[in-house]
Amino acid sequence: MKHVKMMVLEHCPHCRKAFAYIDELKSEYPKYQNVQIEVIDEVKEEEKTQGYDYWYVPTFFVNDVKIHEGVPTKEAIQSVLEEAIQ
């Protein structure tokens, strides 16, 4: 299983939507159940965002490779989860 980092902001509506898609996809597809996502609040944990190139949240990195940035769709979040299990 690959390491997934998710950069977020506490009050971001797009981040909340991404979390909802993650929950939905994990309930629909058991193969995603074991994907662990390290959630990093870019304000509270700024030091953990150093060296990562992104402008928008949510942003997902899988093994430090950016897979998705910005407004999430269910398909985009599924791509993140697929990359994590490969």
Of 83, 50, 64, nearest to 5 by C-alpha is: 64
- Please report which confidence band the pLDDT of residue 53 belongs to, taking 50, 70 and 90 as the band edges: very high
Position 23 scores a pLDDT of 98
Q: Residue 55 has what pLDDT?
A: 97
The DSSP result for 36-54, as a single string, is: -EEEEETTTTGGGGTT---
Domain covering 4-85 assigned CATH 3.40.30.10 in the classification: yes
> Per-residue pLDDT averaged across 47-76, rounded?
97
40-50: b (≥16 Cβ within 10 Å) or e = bbbeeeeeeee
**Count of all residues that appear for the chain in the document:** 86
Task: Give 24-39 pLDDT, tens digit per residue.
Answer: 999 999 999 999 999 9
Q: What percent of the chain has pLDDT over 90?
A: 99
Going from N- to C-terminal start, the domains of the chain cover: 4-85
Distance CA(2)–CA(20), nearest Å, equals: 21
Give me the pLDDT at residue 11, please.
96
pLDDT at 10: 94
64-75: average pLDDT: 98
Task: Calculate helix-pair angle for 74-85, 13-28, nearest 10 degrees.
Answer: 60
